[in-house]
Structure 1
Amino acid sequence: MCYFRHLQVKIFGIRGCFFGIANMILVKRMRETLYSTLLFQDISFFDSQTVGDLTSRLGSDCQQVSRVIGNDLNMIFRNVLQGTGALIYLLILSWPLGLCTLVICCILAAVMFVYGMYQKKTAKLIQEITASANEVAQETYSLMRTVRVYGTEKQEFKRYNHWLQRLADISLRQSAAYGIWNWSFNTLYHATQIIAVLVGGLSILAGQITAEQLTKFLLYSEWLIYATWWVGDNLSSLMQSVGASEKVFQMMDLKPSDQFISKGTRLQRLTGHIEFVDVSFSYPSRDEVAVVQNVNISVHPGEVVAIVGLSGSGKSTLVNLLLQLYEPTSGQILLDGVPLKELDVKWLRQRIGYVGQEPKLFRTDISSNIKYGCDRNISQEDIISAAKQAYAHDFITALPNGYNTIVDDDLLSGGQKQRIAIARAILRDPRILILDEATSALDAESEHNVKGVLRSIGNDSATKRSVIVIAHRLSTIQAADRIVAMDSGRVVEMGSHKELLSKDGLYARLTKRQNDAVL
């Protein structure tokens, strides 16, 4: 007997090991699949999703699924085998008693199924509320300086506590449901013992079974009931995992953006002739509002075109459309006469240099941030050369580890981040250069120096880069070949600095207001 017990322990241990390995592989592949699926979604997908929700799906939701194989399926498989063996032996001992026990187990299974479905629904709700709570916490911590300045700690605590209270209410109902399930088990378990004793006693008096058989029956029926209870408990946990992972599987089923699955055209030679032809656009989240309306702009190779206008006039939206982050609602954008949507997206973006108003740097060393996205071999000398052109070399070498310094939010100022982003754009040697408020955080001297560099790389006769500049500081774009003034998503003026001043229109008014503000 001891030998078989020892063998059983070994078998269970080996099985648990295999289930643990399978669990590790499952969770790893789930996270890989989910991350890659999210990575290749349209940018509009991220406009409608919060960072806290997505990270919660990648983190806690995927980990919740690990219980399915690591524990739930393992224990369900084990107890189903044990319960089946016990039921067969009970029917052999006494089929009337065995059938009575089976009926009770079926009732217990029905209660178990209802409880499991409730657990699935509750788990899905818990994960959604947890994701909302995580989003509040992440937002508060990322904006801690704003919270401190405005003294809204209690307000933020109330926001977070609101979701915690909802989570506590659901957990309370979940505990009550577990209590009902546990009470049902205990009631049915004791009912089984009472029925077995009564029917077994009558069977002994009738000479149908012996006292020894009744004793064995009581032991094996208890084994069957407990096996059923364990199956129910693990099945409810399984349903809870399924409910928690439902959103994960929905996201994993998302198809990647058409940009990444369609094979676009790669031009043999890119000159950088850009044309916006009757382009209109509305963001998917608010399609009733036209952000850009019937825009017609042409940018020739080697030309610097500046786009100005009030906030919300559609300047940055044009850049987003050119970068193919969104597709125009109507009209089209041509590059060297070829519609932008027909081109290979990855190939196109490798030939575009982009510097935004608030560049985000990755938490890696400065060298890696500068060469980020370059598909050619880059030497350290190339990185240093680009940093010097962007007037970033001096402050980088003054850092504790120079170009190997890990970027931190508190380490660099806004202007320093912009200069690193400009160095990244210079290093790419782009055919098209887009500057969206690229010098807004620079001091006057750095802006003057960087403007000269940007102008020189835009008008390099050997490359003839096309440059699009968006700026609120009109001093930044006075030397542009053409200036496009936009208002409410429409082009209202176009010409050189002198021509637009003489028209006394929108551009002239903006220039006058800035001059008055300086005075």
Structure 2
Amino acid sequence: MFNFWNMQVKIFGVRGCCFGIANMILVKRIREALYSALLLQDISFFDSETVGDLTSRLGADCQQVSRVIGNDLNLILRNVLQGAGSLIYLLVLSWPLGLCTVGICTILSAVMLIYGRYQKKAARLVQEVTASANQVAQETLSLIRTVRVHGTEGEELGRYKWWLGKLADISLRQSAAYGFWNLSFNSLYHSTQVIAVLFGGMAILAGHITAEKLTKFILYSEWLIYSTWWVGDNISSLMQSVGASEKVFRLMDLLPSSQFIERGVKLQGLTGLIEFIDVSFYYPSRPTVPVVQHVSFSVHPGEVVAIVGFSGSGKSTLVNLLLQLYEPTNGQILIDGHPLKELDIMWWRERIGYVGQEPKLFRMDISSNISYGCTHYIKQEDIEWAAKQAYAHDFISALPNGYETLVDDDLLSGGQRQRIAIARAIIRDPSILVLDEATSALDAESEYNVQGVFRSVRSDLTTRSVIVIAHRLSTIKAADKIVVMDGGQIVEIGSHRELLLKDGLYARLTRKQADAMS
């Protein structure tokens, strides 16, 4: 007997180890597949999904799915085998009493299925509410300086507590459902004992079975009931995992953006001729609000073209279309005479240097931030050259660890971040350079130095094309052509001098800026 139990313990131990390994592999592959699916979605997908929700799916939800193999299926398989063996032995001992026990187990299974369905629905609600709570916490903590300055700690705590209250309500209902399930089990379990004693006692008196068989029957019926209970408990847990995993698998099933599936054209040589031809666009989330309407202009190789206008006039949207973050609703963009949408997206983006208004740096060393995204081998000398071109070398060298300094939120000022981002764009040696308010956080001296990037373009033999979105007069005046936008449309095009003579919107913007500076 001792050897039997010793062998059983060893078998269960090996089974548990195998399930644990399978669980680890499952979680790893699910997270890899989900992360890969998210990375390959269109930008419009991220406009409608929150970061907190997606990170919650990658974290808690994937871990919840792992319980399916690591715990639920493991215990369900074990208890099903134990219950099946007990049922067979019960029917051999006394099939009438065995059938009574089967009937009770059937009722218990029906209650179990109802409870499991409820747990599946509740688990889905828990995951959605948890994701919303995570989104509030992530947003608040990432904007903690704004919260502190405005003194809204109480309001943010209230927002978070509201979601926690909803989560507590759902958990309370889950606890009540579990209490009902537990009450059902105990009632049916004790009913089995009563039936076994009553009918078994009558059978003993009638001489149909012996007291020894009745004792065995009671023991095995308890084993069967408990196995059924454990199967039900694990199935309800399995239903929770299924409910939590629905959004995970729905995200995993999303098809990648067509940009990553279709192989476009790779041009033999890129001169940098850009043509916007009757381009219109509206965001998918706001189909009735046109952002850009019938825009047509060109950027020739070696030109510096500035795009100016009021906030919300569609300047940055044109850059997003050029980067192929979105597709034009109407019209097309030509690159050296070829439609942009027909070009290979990875090849195209390798040839564009982009600096945004609020450049984001990764939590890695400065050298890695500057060389980020480069497909060719980059030497340290190349990194330092790019930093010098962006007038960032001096302040980087003054840092404790120089180019090996780890970037964090408090280390660099806004202007220093922008200069590192400019160096990141320059090191790619792009055929087209796009600067979206890239000098907005620079001081006067740094801005003057960065103007050297524009001045070098005119004498650059590679005929690099530059598109600049700016408000500062000093940056605008350096452009060969200025495109003035208002309400998503182009209202003026010309040089600085030509537009001043027209005395239109550009002239008014220039006078307002001059008045503000004075």
Q: TM-score with structure 2 length normalisation?
A: 0.99
1:516 aligned onto 2:502:
no
Deviations 1:58-102 (A, max 9, x none): 000001111111111110000000000000000000000000000
- Structure 2 counterpart SS, 1:263: coil
**Identical amino acids, percent of aligned pairs:** 77
**1:474: Cα distance to partner?**
2.3
Q: 2:356, 2:438 within 8 Å by CA — same for their partners in 1?
A: yes
User: How many residues of Structure 1 are paired with residues of Structure 2 in the alignment?
Assistant: 518
Per the alignment, residue 485 of structure 1 pairs with: 484
Counterpart amino acid of residue 221 in structure 1: S
The 5 A counterparts of 1:270-419 are 270-419=270-419
Per the alignment, residue 42 of structure 1 pairs with: 42
Counterpart amino acid of residue 489 in structure 1: G
Q: 2:304, 2:454 within 8 Å by CA — same for their partners in 1?
A: no
Counterpart amino acid of residue 186 in structure 1: N
Deviations 1:116-171 (A, max 9, x none): 01000000000000000000001111111111111111100000000000000000
Q: Please list every run of at least 4 consecutive aligned residues from structure 1 whose deviation after the TM superposition is greater than 2 angstroms.
A: 458-461
**1:475: Cα distance to partner?**
2.0
Q: Mark the runs of 5 or more structure 2 residues left unpaired by the alignment.
A: none
- Structure 2 counterpart SS, 1:459: helix
Please give the alpha-carbon distance, in whole angstroms, between the structure 2 residues aligned to 1:510 and 1:475.
13
Counterpart amino acid of residue 480 in structure 2: D
Counterpart amino acid of residue 421 in structure 2: A
Deviations 1:334-388 (A, max 9, x none): 0011100000000000000001111000000000000111111110001001101
Counterpart amino acid of residue 445 in structure 1: E
Counterpart amino acid of residue 464 in structure 2: R
Please give the alpha-carbon distance, in whole angstroms, between the structure 2 residues aligned to 1:347 and 1:425.
15
**1:510: Cα distance to partner?**
0.1
- Structure 2 counterpart SS, 1:154: helix
Per the alignment, residue 154 of structure 1 pairs with: 154
Counterpart amino acid of residue 427 in structure 2: L
Please give the alpha-carbon distance, in whole angstroms, between the structure 1 residues aligned to 2:319 and 2:437.
12
**1:201: Cα distance to partner?**
1.2
**1:473: Cα distance to partner?**
1.1
Please give the alpha-carbon distance, in whole angstroms, between the structure 2 residues aligned to 1:256 and 1:280.
25
Counterpart amino acid of residue 390 in structure 1: A
Q: Mark the runs of 5 or more structure 1 residues left unpaired by the alignment.
A: none
Deviations 1:182-202 (A, max 9, x none): 000000000111111111111
**1:205: Cα distance to partner?**
1.6
The 5 A counterparts of 1:162-241 are 162-241=162-241
Please give the alpha-carbon distance, in whole angstroms, between the structure 2 residues aligned to 1:148 and 1:268.
54
**1:10: Cα distance to partner?**
0.2
Please give the alpha-carbon distance, in whole angstroms, between the structure 1 residues aligned to 2:510 and 2:24.
62
CA RMSD, aligned part only? 0.7
Please give the alpha-carbon distance, in whole angstroms, between the structure 2 residues aligned to 1:433 and 1:377.
20
Q: 2:281, 2:291 within 8 Å by CA — same for their partners in 1?
A: yes
Counterpart amino acid of residue 201 in structure 2: G
The 5 A counterparts of 1:235-254 are 235-254=235-254
1:75 aligned onto 2:72:
no
- Structure 2 counterpart SS, 1:264: coil
Deviations 1:431-468 (A, max 9, x none): 00101001110000110111112331x22442001110
**1:276: Cα distance to partner?**
0.4
C-alpha distance 396-461 of structure 1, shift in aligned 2 (>3 A) = closer
Please give the alpha-carbon distance, in whole angstroms, between the structure 2 residues aligned to 1:426 and 1:174.
57
Please give the alpha-carbon distance, in whole angstroms, between the structure 1 residues aligned to 2:402 and 2:153.
37
Please give the alpha-carbon distance, in whole angstroms, between the structure 2 residues aligned to 1:472 and 1:112.
66
- Structure 1 counterpart SS, 2:477: coil
